[in-house]
Amino acid sequence: LRDHGARVISHPVDATSKEQLEMMASDQSLADFVVFNFPHTGANQTSLGQRGLERSIESNRSLLDAFFAALSDSTNLVGQHTRIHVTLKSTRPYADWGLPYIARQRGFALLRKFAFPREFMGQSGYAHETTVRNLRVQVNLESAEVHEFIRLQR
């Protein structure tokens, strides 16, 4: 991506922090894209039964809400032409998170969805990691979709 002129942030960023998001706009120019691939709080969604699944869904909804709230409050990162890309699997429980609804509540409209470009991202050095510590498995990303949003007029 860098070879094509993209500014890539390769260190941890709290995507729910307006201050950290705005620090990324160091040259005071609005971002063309903000990308959040596979957001997840790490809340256990399998071993705790239905209650654990519901808690995981709720915690991830809160994460997405905080992310879009930080973007909405940002004055020097996100403009009318900035594209926000959030990648999630299209299967349950991820589909239950209500991503388009959450974004809309924070002033962002869903433009389109498209398949996550696994091959291109892999060639560009992207490696998917899970939130389970020390888990080294190949994650099936076939159902992954990129949701593209723009900020609504204020």
pTM summary value: 0.84
Q: What per-residue confidence (pLDDT) applies to 129?
A: 62
Query: Collapsing DSSP states into helix, strand and coil, what is residue 60?
Result: helix
Encode pLDDT of 54-99 as tens digits: 888 999 999 999 999 999 988 778 888 899 999 999 988 899 999 9
Phi-psi region of 42 (alpha: psi -120 to 50; beta: other; left: phi over 0): left
Q: How far apart are CA 22 and CA 126, in angstroms?
A: 23
